[in-house]
Structure 1
Amino acid sequence: MATPNGFRKLVISVMIPLMVASGVSTVPELAFAQATTPDPAQPDTYSTPLKQPEYRQTNRYDKTDIPVQLLGINDLHGGLDTTGTAYIGSHPYPNTGTVGRLAAYLDQAQHQFKRVHHSNNTFRIEAGDMVGAAPADSSLLAHESTMHALRAMKFQIGTLGNHEFDRGLPEFNRILRGRAASASADPLVKNYPNEPTKMKIVVSNVVNRSNGKVPFGYQPYMVRTIKAHGKTAKIGFIGLEIGSLTSITPAKNTANYKILDEAQSIAKYDRILNKQGVKAVVVMAHTAVQTRDGKTTGPVVDILHKLNRIDPKNNVGLYVAAHSHQYANAMVGKTRVVQALFSGRAYDDAQAYVSPKTGKFVDLKAHVYPVLSAKADAKVKSVAQVAAIAKDADKRVGPKVNVIIGKAASSQPITDYHSNTKTMENQIGETVVDGQLYEANKPGGVRADFALTNNGGVRADLTPNAQGQITWGAAMAVQPFGNILQVVEMTGQQIQDALNEQYSNPAFYLQIAGLKYTYTDNPGSQQHYKVLKMYKTDGTPLNLTTKYRVAINDYIHGGGDDFFAFKNTPVVGSIGSDSDVFVQYIKDMAAANHPLTAPKPDRKLYQATGTTITVPAPSVTATK
């Protein structure tokens, strides 16, 4: 039996960065083909703000204007003790993360700001997805442990991400307010202490369908006063939810809400703030962006361009982005945009002055910094109070993660991408999609012809114990992110396009179920191979004009990992989170007395150029 700490390390070790080089999932909107901006004016080359030249001293504004600091995070995803490489710009920082060390670096940055400016004008803010798609030490405790950590880290203002809706917004509001769990809740949750987070939620574009008001008494914006030199000024904070929320979240969890246009919502409340004399505005938005290779792209760019068209005199100086789990630091028009990766691996530190005469930001700078490991920065010690929350959570969930949910045909691991075949197939990836197809086609299910998933969403071997038993923890290590599985409608041509997109970037590829295909070389093209013919598992060829139902996760449905063929395909229905579906599949196979066996990797057949196309042999899987 694995120890709780051993399981935590198993799950956490697979949560590597959402970078182009790694192809990790959970991000439903990553098709960054829109407008671009130049290389950021403030490249991030320093590992801590202590080394940042302009943060180490005051300047001419300090004598007349009011200094303010904005410390931000995004997409914590319950990452209490997660670690992994943080890519900031082109610089990799290994083994970054954990909330204990994040707390320490936030404290360090705030203390530096106070020492330099003699100011307490610091705000700790976050941009959504505090919870959801999380390790067991958060998810099994209904994410209350994460909210405790956020409280201990003194976060003051936040907004909603899509994962705050995973269990319904009322449930998120319960843990935010520190209220008791329902009588039917798991004992782990009922026994966890309740305490309010004390964070204020602002969200401007989520309203009740019934009355048009922001739900649960949250506010669309908030105003805070800052002081210096015997003078005061005000800062406005506007929160923003991702506009595509209803397409990436189970319908039952969003049915009561309308999601309004992002740019129009910012413009509306910027004008209201302006009338109140608030002319320094910060937006915390769960909307995607990334800076890479000298360009900044993503929906945030489009949102800000639209904002500047409809509200050209807007006062948005800082935009703290989220959702795509990428690094970003750039000017988009007149607004500084930042995003600090995910799971507590980085944070952003923006520092500015507000003129007491005009009320506007002057000299606003922002940088993104890694949460360095103890090995990389031994002088910084984890904040004991915050680290203790993670340790306690890990101890509480230990017994549950070792629950037996099924059985494998042997005690040998069903192997992951480290054991890929030449055709980029692996045993556990194909087991996962077999399970997705099986669960979709159960009586009363959504029904699907095929299931496809990106390689980045399948994170580890499935490792049975010596008796061949599969634990809940072992299953969750394979799929720890909790992407939402959707069944979409695609033509045969669109499916072929998606399969071809595998061969434009070797970092990204698909695992497939219910489907086989042949492919060959494609010389003289950036797409190294091309699909020749596609077949169902019984040998029936796919018709390019026929419509099929395909189970995919919300990440690639948004074009993630450059699979643009999936983007905007119509959603037929939702199956649930991929983590839950995989666990249920293992349970169902156990109930049917079908121990899991590694599939034969015969779904992608390479065909040498100029040879006769070989029809893949029919096969039977557990989905039949």
Structure 2
Amino acid sequence: MVNHVKGKVLSLLSVPAILLGLMSVVPAATEAADTPQTLTNVAGSDDYAKPGLQPEFQTVPKKYRNDIPVQILGINDLHGGLSTTGDVGIGQKTYKGAGTAARLASYLDQAQNQFKAVANSNNTFRVEAGDMVGAAPANSSLLAHESTMHALKEMRFQIGTLGNHEFDRGLPEFNRILNGNAPTASTNASQLVKDYPHYSTNMQLIVANVVNQSNGQIPFGYKPYTIKTVKAGNEKAKVGFIGIDTSTLPSLTLYDNYKDYKVLDEAETIAKYDKILNNKGVKAVVVMAHTGVATSPQGQTTGPVVDILNKLNSIDPSNHVGLYVAGHSHQYANAKIGKTHVVQAVYTGKAYDDVWTYVSPKSGKFVSVAPHVYPVLSQADDPTVSGNPNVAAVVKDADNRVDPQVNQVIGKAATPETITGRLHNNSTMENAAGEVVVDGQLYEANKHGVQADFAMTNTGGVRADLEVNENADITWGAATAVQPFGNILQVVKMTGKQIEDALNQQYDQNQQYYLQIAGLKYTYTDSGDANQPFKVVSMTKDDGTPITPDGTYNVVINDFLHGGGDDFTAFKDTAIQGSIGTDTDTFVNYIKDMTAAGTPVQAPQLDRKVYQGN
């Protein structure tokens, strides 16, 4: 009965810096109302698994042989995925078991070598569009993500920009690992982090629209753009790169992590720096932006990037942005929006962008942009390729350092089967791992004497399936992969009306943000309102007792939601009744407690949200 609900979901999207992660749908940009024009929107084509098979990459077309070849190799949303693998959809095809940083490095090397051989050019730039770190497995997170930065250094990434997850531990901490400084006493670093080697990534960080609240200056001396000179024979030209973060940052991270900064409008900032670059003689511009976009298998491209480019071309029709390397929404994209090509290489190192461009030495403009997205094929699909040994060494060293803690068995599952998470939502946007998480939060709150009726979490904070070993063991690493952030859990007092408002807020942005719930059930139905197509009809406790609008209840939420994160304003500033520690520790303790009680963890029935047709 609810297939029409599920049909609204494009895919999953990453967002909150300490908590959010993949959403169900790419959000609409807030400035859409200010974009009077609609640019042409044409999907690109990605039919080949490797650039070596791409017909247009076999030779330099005759009409461009007097121009300067330039290659852009891009990634986005690595999220510390040093060893992460999974299926990846690109165009009409799905590739199984894609990923790992070492194999990504090898494919980037292959792509660059092919470009050099065919185009006789060294004009290759490796760029990154935000969320290098954060929401990551233990071989990154336990080492303060320095292992990921070391891997990026070995992959020779030259230019990067900020995403929301670079703010997870505060921007000063990200700046520390970017530059390879040792942790200070105030960071309370673990011995693992203190013992890890600290050295600079040698990546130039550019961001144009993040400024200090105090003085309007870009923090830490980061630059808004960089200019690179490209050459072919005796000819030269300039290519400009502008870095952009998402303006939705305040809803994606904790207040303390963004309060010192202001994020400016994306389109207006691009227009400003495009003109500055133009005045410096730069007529070929690449934007690297942590803003979401998706191209569906049907060839439809949607998301904030489309709205940003519409607005950009409305206020600056003569802009020179030829390529937009996107991130944040964890989806595949290849499209031409107006005159600008847009790509996004999914996430966690499962894919990469390979874009061949040609710049006229006379006009300085892009005369051709040929963008493609390719998978990082598994060893099974491409046994001829081995992982880059330098990156593999970084990963192996990280594994060796964290393995004693990661492999510690903390409990048992009822069956030796993985308990699946947000990649396996049912039609009402429930998933088993998410509901185990909130079940645990509710149980642990009451166990520690902080009386709670319900628990709720934004599903972006539930980052992974709960992996279960073949003997039904659950390890510390498996548990913390599900809840990696260490957000503080608070018990807050809410009225039934506030709870209803929070549940309804799941439906005001096409379920871009949604909740996992414990201790209550509710029914919802069609509202007839296009802006919020569904509404809550009734709510009850698990035992069937109605939840009344003027009744008061204690609800476990994380501090991200308490600040109104993911636009759940119903939780904001509710009265705190107590705290129960971090979400990570709470989940680990719940698995231990269930095992000790002889009730091993099992996947719950997904029946807490019930759609009721009119």
TM-score between both structures, scaled by the size of structure 1 = 0.79
Residue 389, structure 1, aligned to residue 394, structure 2: yes
The C-alpha deviation readout for 1:359-417, integer Å capped at 9, x for no partner, is 1111111000011112211222221111111111111101122456x667x87669724
Asked if structure 2 preserves the Cα contact closer than 8 Å seen for 1:28 and 1:558, the reply is no
Question: Aligned partners of 2:481, 2:498: CA distance in 1, in Å?
Answer: 33
- CA apart distance, 1:449: 5.4
Pair 445,257 (structure 1): closer, same or farther in 2 beyond 3 Å: farther
Asked if structure 2 preserves the Cα contact closer than 8 Å seen for 1:481 and 1:579, the reply is no
Residue 253, structure 1, aligned to residue 253, structure 2: no
5 Å matches for 1:486-505?
491=498, 494=501, 497=504
- CA apart distance, 1:435: 3.5
Pair 537,214 (structure 1): closer, same or farther in 2 beyond 3 Å: same
Question: Aligned partners of 1:297, 1:484: CA distance in 2, in Å?
Answer: 35
Residue 321, structure 1, aligned to residue 326, structure 2: yes
Residue 416, structure 1, aligned to residue 411, structure 2: no
Question: Aligned partners of 1:519, 1:22: CA distance in 2, in Å?
Answer: 23
Consecutive unaligned residues of structure 2, counting only runs of 5 or more, are 1-8, 15-19, 33-37
Q: Determine the structure 2 residue equivalent to 1:335.
A: 340
Q: Determine the structure 2 residue equivalent to 1:30.
A: 25
Decide which of 148, 154, 163 is 1:146's aligned counterpart.
148
3-state SS of paired residue (1:352) = strand
Q: Determine the structure 1 residue equivalent to 2:4.
A: none
Q: Determine the structure 2 residue equivalent to 1:513.
A: 518
- CA apart distance, 1:310: 1.0
3-state SS of paired residue (1:307) = helix
- CA apart distance, 1:492: 5.7
5 Å matches for 1:6-85?
20=10, 26-27=21-22, 30-32=25-27, 40-85=42-87
Question: Aligned partners of 1:239, 1:254: CA distance in 2, in Å?
Answer: 18
- CA apart distance, 1:478: 3.6
- CA apart distance, 1:470: 6.0
- CA apart distance, 1:295: 0.8
The C-alpha deviation readout for 1:144-166, integer Å capped at 9, x for no partner, is 11111111110000001111111
Asked if structure 2 preserves the Cα contact closer than 8 Å seen for 1:158 and 1:201, the reply is yes
Question: Aligned partners of 1:50, 1:225: CA distance in 2, in Å?
Answer: 27
Consecutive unaligned residues of structure 1, counting only runs of 5 or more, are 1-18, 560-565, 611-624
Question: Aligned partners of 1:455, 1:283: CA distance in 2, in Å?
Answer: 27
Q: Determine the structure 2 residue equivalent to 1:271.
A: 275
3-state SS of paired residue (2:229) = strand
Q: Determine the structure 1 residue equivalent to 2:126.
A: 124
Question: Aligned partners of 1:491, 1:394: CA distance in 2, in Å?
Answer: 45
Question: Aligned partners of 2:537, 2:64: CA distance in 1, in Å?
Answer: 66
Decide which of 238, 245, 257 is 2:242's aligned counterpart.
238
- CA apart distance, 1:541: 2.5
Asked if structure 2 preserves the Cα contact closer than 8 Å seen for 1:202 and 1:219, the reply is yes
- CA apart distance, 1:63: 2.8
Question: Aligned partners of 2:271, 2:612: CA distance in 1, in Å?
Answer: 57
3-state SS of paired residue (2:70) = strand
Q: Determine the structure 2 residue equivalent to 1:288.
A: 292
5 Å matches for 1:454-473?
454=459, 457=462, 459-461=464-466, 463=468, 471-473=475-477
Asked if structure 1 preserves the Cα contact closer than 8 Å seen for 2:522 and 2:538, the reply is yes
Question: Aligned partners of 1:286, 1:488: CA distance in 2, in Å?
Answer: 36
Q: Percent identity?
A: 53
TM-score between both structures, scaled by the size of structure 2 = 0.80
Pair 144,529 (structure 1): closer, same or farther in 2 beyond 3 Å: closer
Question: Aligned partners of 1:109, 1:223: CA distance in 2, in Å?
Answer: 23
- CA apart distance, 1:208: 1.1
3-state SS of paired residue (1:306) = helix
Question: Aligned partners of 1:499, 1:398: CA distance in 2, in Å?
Answer: 38
5 Å matches for 1:455-604?
457=462, 459-461=464-466, 463=468, 471-479=475-483, 491=498, 494=501, 497=504, 511-517=516-522, 533-537=538-542, 539-543=544-548, 551=557, 569=569, 572=572, 581-587=583-589, 595=597, 598=601, 601=605, 604=608
Question: Aligned partners of 2:245, 2:452: CA distance in 1, in Å?
Answer: 31
3-state SS of paired residue (1:111) = helix
Which residue identity lines up with residue 60 of structure 1 in the other structure?
Answer: K
Which residue identity lines up with residue 25 of structure 2 in the other structure?
Answer: L
3-state SS of paired residue (1:80) = coil
Which residue identity lines up with residue 166 of structure 2 in the other structure?
Answer: E
Q: Determine the structure 2 residue equivalent to 1:14.
A: none
5 Å matches for 1:134-173?
134-173=136-175
Which residue identity lines up with residue 257 of structure 1 in the other structure?
Answer: Y
Question: Aligned partners of 2:425, 2:212: CA distance in 1, in Å?
Answer: 48
Taking only aligned residues, the RMSD between alpha carbons, in angstroms, comes to: 4.5
Pair 569,350 (structure 1): closer, same or farther in 2 beyond 3 Å: same
How many residues are paired up? 574
Q: Determine the structure 1 residue equivalent to 2:439.
A: 434
Asked if structure 1 preserves the Cα contact closer than 8 Å seen for 2:12 and 2:24, the reply is no
Asked if structure 2 preserves the Cα contact closer than 8 Å seen for 1:488 and 1:571, the reply is no
- CA apart distance, 1:182: 2.6
Asked if structure 1 preserves the Cα contact closer than 8 Å seen for 2:121 and 2:232, the reply is yes
Decide which of 92, 96, 100 is 1:90's aligned counterpart.
92
Asked if structure 2 preserves the Cα contact closer than 8 Å seen for 1:512 and 1:603, the reply is no
Which residue identity lines up with residue 400 of structure 1 in the other structure?
Answer: Q
